[in-house]
Amino acid sequence: MAATMKNVDEIRNRVILGEFGVKNVHTTDFPGNYPGYDDSWDMEKFQKNFRIDVVQLDESSMEFDMVGIDAAIANAFRRILLAEVPTMAIEKVFIYNNTSIVQDEVLAHRLGLIPIKADPRLFEYRNTGEELAEEEGSEIDTIQLQLKIKCSRNPRASKDSSDPRELYLNHMVYSRDIKWVPIGNQADVFADSSIGPVHDDILIAQLRPGQELDILMHCVKGIGKDHAKFSPVATASYRLLPEITLLEPVEGEKAERLKRCFSRGVIDLEDVNGKKVAKVVNSRLDTCSREVLRHDDLKNMVKLGRVRDHFIFTVESTGILPPDVLVTEAVKVLMAKCQRFLSELDSTDME
């Protein structure tokens, strides 16, 4: 009976990586699925088991553990980060002059994908109705940027030089050349903010003497679901926490081979009575390549699994907002969705 309960616990809590497949990937935590287990929703139990541990955080990336939730909720956070946390991005490009070799539509596309550093929480969504589509933006919903640059010959260049960087002035157009043009009272409201491209070294175009760009751009608030340029993250992903269990002692040459089968830092060798013995040091670093299963004399000594409710999240921001702020905003979006759903249920019940 104890062995049976242990097997059920493994099915419920672990994904097993086998030689020819992956087991226990289906959802089983719902009432009545297993006799003797109460899987009904319990808020106190959830609060007790749920936790978030921040592992690494800097201005551009974040890694944290989300423990005690279902994969559906974890995936909801991932999708919201990718597609529903709003940002500001270039939506309209007014090209007054473009004599470069880059076509207008290609240039507009390149400009649209440049991340713009501006807090979207301080702006409103632009009204996109057909009757208002041609209206000018205002200080509460639009950021205006300008790119005006012309290439010319460098009079101080050496006659024998063939280096474009010495021969020409302004021949490389970078995102740093884009300047913010305040609308209305924006200069006062955003006096402490440096609105403009997040990175100043993004190459936009290359010019030659006589060629120029004269462009006006309007940035508006949007979400990644409408266009990828509004996505606030370069990547947002998660993986299950790896779990590596040695079923029997692994010594000598086998231990050294076992160590090489995993990512660096996962397996270490310790000296026991003059013998090298394998020891699992940090299974978190494993990439779950299953390389060990190729070795006939090692594959039955190791059990590879993943913890079903332990998600390792990696969030890399484009620089518009810090990654911890993005995660907080994603939580707010999910809360709003849940509240809207509950309101719909209440209105249905009243009917």
User: What's the CATH number where 72 sits?
Assistant: 3.30.1360.10
Distance of CA 290 to the CA centre of its chain: 26
Mean pLDDT across 185-205:
91
- Determine the pLDDT at residue 172: 94
- Count of structural domains, the chain: 2
Q: Which domain holds residue 60?
A: 7-83+236-247+301-313
Task: Render pLDDT for 108-155 as a digit per residue (tens, 0 to 9).
Answer: 999 999 999 999 999 999 876 544 455 678 889 899 999 999 999 998
Task: Render pLDDT for 238-265 as a digit per residue (tens, 0 to 9).
Answer: 999 999 999 999 888 999 999 999 999 9
Domain endpoint, select from 196, 231, 266: 231
Q: Which residue has the tokens 């299963």?
A: 293
Instruction: Give the SS3 label for residue 101.
Output: coil
Does some domain include residue 93? Answer: yes
Does some domain include residue 331? Answer: no
Task: Render pLDDT for 308-336 as a digit per residue (tens, 0 to 9).
Answer: 999 999 999 999 999 999 999 999 999 99
Q: Label residue 41 by pLDDT band (50, 70, 90).
A: confident
- Determine the pLDDT at residue 23: 84
Q: Could you tell me if 151 and 225 are in contact, meaning their C-beta atoms sit under 8 angstroms apart?
A: no
Does some domain include residue 267? Answer: no
Q: What is the DSSP letter of 281?
A: -
Domain endpoint, select from 171, 202, 231: 231
Backbone angles phi, psi at 245, to 5 degrees: -120, 125
Say if residue 59's pLDDT is above 80.
yes
11 and 113 share one domain: no
Does some domain include residue 1? Answer: no
Say if residue 1's pLDDT is above 60.
no
16 and 115 share one domain: no
240 and 224 share one domain: no
Percentage of the chain exceeding pLDDT 70 = 94
Host H or E run for residue 279: strand 275-280
Does some domain include residue 344? Answer: no
Longest dimension (CA), the chain: 91
Host H or E run for residue 97: strand 87-98
- Determine the pLDDT at residue 12: 80
69 and 165 share one domain: no
Does some domain include residue 58? Answer: yes
225 and 91 share one domain: yes
Q: Could you tell me if 276 and 252 are in contact, meaning their C-beta atoms sit under 8 angstroms apart?
A: yes
Say if residue 6's pLDDT is above 70.
no
Does some domain include residue 201? Answer: yes
Q: Which of 15-24, 52-61, 84-93 is least confident?
A: 15-24
111 and 153 share one domain: yes
Structural tokens at position 148: 């005006």
- CA nearest 230: which of 126, 307, 303? 126
Does some domain include residue 130? Answer: yes
Task: Render pLDDT for 207-240 as a digit per residue (tens, 0 to 9).
Answer: 999 999 999 999 999 999 999 999 999 999 999 9
Q: Label residue 162 by pLDDT band (50, 70, 90).
A: confident
- Determine the pLDDT at residue 131: 46
Q: pTM for the whole thing? A: 0.85
